[in-house]
């Protein structure tokens, strides 16, 4: 953990490119405090000049800034394009995943199914890990992302409702309660009338509902012959 508190490491973590030589490693800066230092692969040690990467990065930045962030297909296609060049933890990939997390399951034609739910949850977790490093603490982004992660868990809960062990279902709801409590704390200072405040109110309502569902499931278990 201490490793990531070093601003130099922080830079490499968010700014890693794919190594085209071995196709496997992370191309990371040989000197994160310098904008001109060359990048080297942590697997095969091939190196690339920062200027060459700038060309790739500038092109992607332009596209990321221009993409219609309400167009799921366009954002997802651009993410795929980015991932041909950058690591999944690169800030460009993360910024697109952040949009997708809010679009999947909330856009006409993009209702959650099992595969989409898994993809959305994976993105949420990647974003939360990145926030732990770059913006630890109770931030608005963290609150909104936790809320989206819970939406996936509740989808899973509803999908499992008739064919799963109720102990597992209770455990799933308990993790929702933990995440929702964290989300509410993150969004505590948002002003009434804002989107974030509305999310906070919804999260509070969901906490109540999860609590009630846990009681119902426990009771059902208890009264089974
Ligand atoms: Zn390599």
Angle at 155 between CA 160 and CA 113, to 5 degrees: 90
Greatest CA separation for the chain:
71
How many A from CA of 18 to the centre of ligand 1? 8
| CATH of the domain spanning 137-225 | 1.20.58
pLDDT at 70: 96
Angle at 179 between CA 173 and CA 183, to 5 degrees: 140
How many A from CA of 94 to the centre of ligand 1? 22
Residue 186, classified by CB atoms within 10 Å of its CB into exposed (0-12), middle (13-18) or buried (19+), is buried
How many A from CA of 27 to the centre of ligand 1? 7
Considering the chain, what is the average pLDDT of its residues?
A: 91
pLDDT at 9: 52
How many A from CA of 40 to the centre of ligand 1? 8
Over residues 146-167, the mean pLDDT reads 89
pLDDT at 225: 62
How many A from CA of 192 to the centre of ligand 1? 50
Task: Give the pairing type, strands 26-29 and 39-41.
Answer: antiparallel
- Report residue 2's pLDDT band, with 50, 70 and 90 as the boundaries: very low
**Is pLDDT at 4 greater than 90 in this prediction?**
no
How many A from CA of 101 to the centre of ligand 1? 30
Write the CB contacts of 190 (distance below 8 Å, at least 6 apart in sequence): 140, 196, 197, 200
How many A from CA of 46 to the centre of ligand 1? 6
pTM comes to 0.90
Q: For 173-191, what is each residue's pLDDT tens digit? A: 999 999 999 999 999 999 9
Over residues 24-35, the mean pLDDT reads 86
Q: For 105-126, what is each residue's pLDDT tens digit? A: 999 999 999 999 999 999 999 9
Report how far residue 115's alpha carbon sits from residue 159's, in angstroms, rounded to the nearest whole number.
13
């Amino acid at each position: 953990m201490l490793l990531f508190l070093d601003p130099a490491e922080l830079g490499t973590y968010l700014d890693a490119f794919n190594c085209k030589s071995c196709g496997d490693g992370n191309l990371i800066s040989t000197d994160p405090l310098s904008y001109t230092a060359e990048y080297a692969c942590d697997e095969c040690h091939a190196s690339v000049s920062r200027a060459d990467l700038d060309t790739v990065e500038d092109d992607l930045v332009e596209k990321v800034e221009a993409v219609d962030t309400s167009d799921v297909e366009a954002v997802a296609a651009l993410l795929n394009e980015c991932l041909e060049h950058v690591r999944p933890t690169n800030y460009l990939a993360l910024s697109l995943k952040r949009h997708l997390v809010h679009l999947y399951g909330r856009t006409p034609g993009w209702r959650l199914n099992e595969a989409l739910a898994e993809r959305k949850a994976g993105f949420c977790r990647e974003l939360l890990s990145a926030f732990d490093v770059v913006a630890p603490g109770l931030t608005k982004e963290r609150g909104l992302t936790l809320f989206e992660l819970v939406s996936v868990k509740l989808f899973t809960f509803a999908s499992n409702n008739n064919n799963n062990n109720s102990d597992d279902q209770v455990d799933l709801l308990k993790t929702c309660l933990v995440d929702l409590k964290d989300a509410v704390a993150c969004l505590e200072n948002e002003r009434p009338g804002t989107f974030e405040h509305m999310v906070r109110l919804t999260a509070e309502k969901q906490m109540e509902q999860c609590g009630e569902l846990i009681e119902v499931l426990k009771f059902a278990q208890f009264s089974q012959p």
